[in-house]
Amino acid sequence: MALINYSSKEINCKIVYYGPGLGGKTTNIKHIYSKVNPENRGKLMSLDTELDRTLFFDFLPVDLGTVKGFSVHFHLYTVPGQVYYNASRKLILKGVDGLIFVADSQIERFEDNIDSIENLDDNLAEYHKKAEEIPLAIQYNKRDLPNIVSLNELEDALNPRGVFSCEGVATEGIGVFEPLKEVSKKVLRKLR
């Protein structure tokens, strides 16, 4: 199920940041939180374990305001990357409208990216008949680090669909808004 328009005046879009643990998903959301006008966003909520790793998710509601009588809300979520939290990853994907995959560019994380994107496909297949129709963008994060995989290799391994992708340094806010904008627009266009 994609967007729901119960009262025909509310549009809620659920956008999920997916990717391997410690790839930079939370950093993306924190940057968005810090840059978006406080009037347009709610509280940033984190459900952490005692180990200070995201157990369930981070959650940030962002309001676009009223557009032609519709009040438009985006709900941003991150999923925990650790392998043993697949149950909570799956539940966050319920009702997802758009996805941003945050890949970790470091050479030693290459396999983890592949595992994570395969895990995304598997989890989506359980909920959605047409998972490939869900808008997706990819951010190749941590481009500031020295030991990174080339862009070509990453594209080759992670982007067979040829979706929008960009380089990112989430800690500096680079490449954070581009994929979010891309996916948000695609999600809204699907309503037409």
Ligand X SMILES: Nc1nc2c(ncn2[C@@H]2O[C@H](COP(=O)(O)OP(=O)(O)O)[C@@H](O)[C@H]2O)c(=O)[nH]1
Which of the choices ligand X, another protein, none does residue 87 contact, using the CB cut-off of 5 to 8 A by kind? another protein
Nearer to another protein among residue 96 and residue 124 (C-beta)? 96
Nearer to ligand X among residue 41 and residue 142 (C-beta)? 142
Euclidean distance between CA atoms 82 and 141, whole angstroms: 18
Residues binding ligand X (CB under 6 A)? 19, 21-27, 54, 78, 81, 141-142, 144-145, 169-171
Three-state SS for 63?
strand
Nearer to ligand X among residue 11 and residue 32 (C-beta)? 32
Q: How far is the CB of 181 from another protein (least distance, A)?
A: 5
Contact call for residues 140 and 151 (beta carbons, < 8 A): yes
Which of the choices another protein, ligand X, none does residue 170 contact, using the CB cut-off of 5 to 8 A by kind? ligand X
Q: How far is the CB of 173 from another protein (least distance, A)?
A: 11
Nearer to ligand X among residue 72 and residue 117 (C-beta)? 117
Euclidean distance between CA atoms 190 and 170, whole angstroms: 28
Q: Nearest to residue 176, comparing CAs of 24, 14, 53?
A: 24
Beta pairing, strands 98-104 & 45-48: unpaired
Q: How far is the CB of 92 from another protein (least distance, A)?
A: 8
b/e map of 116-150 (b: 16 or more CB within 10 Å)? Answer: bbebbeebbeeebeebeebbbbbbbbbbeeeebbe
Q: Nearest to residue 173, comparing CAs of 28, 48, 17, 74?
A: 28
Residues binding another protein (CB under 8 A)? 1-8, 11-12, 14, 32, 35-37, 40, 42-43, 45, 47, 56-57, 59, 61-62, 64-65, 67-68, 70, 72-73, 75, 87-88, 91-92, 94-96, 177, 180-181, 184-185, 188-192
